[in-house]
Amino acid sequence: MDIEVLREICLKKKGVTESFPFDENTLVFKVGGKVFLLIGLNNPVSFNVKCDPEKAVQLREEFDEVQPGYHMNKVHWNTVNMQGRLSFQQLKELIDHSYDLVFKSLPKKLKEEIGHENELGGER
């Protein structure tokens, strides 16, 4: 996976925006105003995604490509290297998981405004 494919995956999701709120090198994807993925443009081989804490530990133990989130809350965020042994599908699942976690945390009214058809498992 490269940054253009990652960007396309993120932007296909309902209610997603992209911006550079921190600096000109960190591309941030949000849903409902909350971050679910960050990637640095100066070295786009890894990205940060939110993750269920128990799943995060399991992934870090199983894959060298998954590390505690760089400059993030290490309980809830992972840094994922796209150039390792993780398949395209596994990378996409990590992005989907992050989006779903953040979406679920949004207020009900905002979820309805976004018109999300996915309650974990449907169309994204």
Question: Mean pLDDT for each 10-residue chunk of the chain (124 residues)?
Answer: 96 97 97 97 94 96 94 93 95 98 95 68 42
Amino acid present at 96? D
Of the candidates 53, 95, 61, 96, which has an alpha carbon nearest to the alpha carbon of residue 77? 53
Q: Give the pLDDT of residue 119.
A: 46
Amino acid present at 60? R
Indicate yes or no: pTM above 0.85.
yes
Where do the domains of the chain lie, and which CATH numbers do they carry? 3-114 (3.90.1150.30)
- What CA–CA distance (Å, rounded) separates 75 from 68? 7
Residue 60: burial class (beta carbons within 10 Å; 0-12, 13-18, 19+): middle
Q: Give the pLDDT of residue 43.
A: 85
Q: Give the pLDDT of residue 37.
A: 98
Amino acid present at 72? M
Q: Give the pLDDT of residue 124.
A: 39
Q: Give the pLDDT of residue 123.
A: 41
- What CA–CA distance (Å, rounded) separates 27 from 84? 21
Q: Give the pLDDT of residue 61.
A: 95
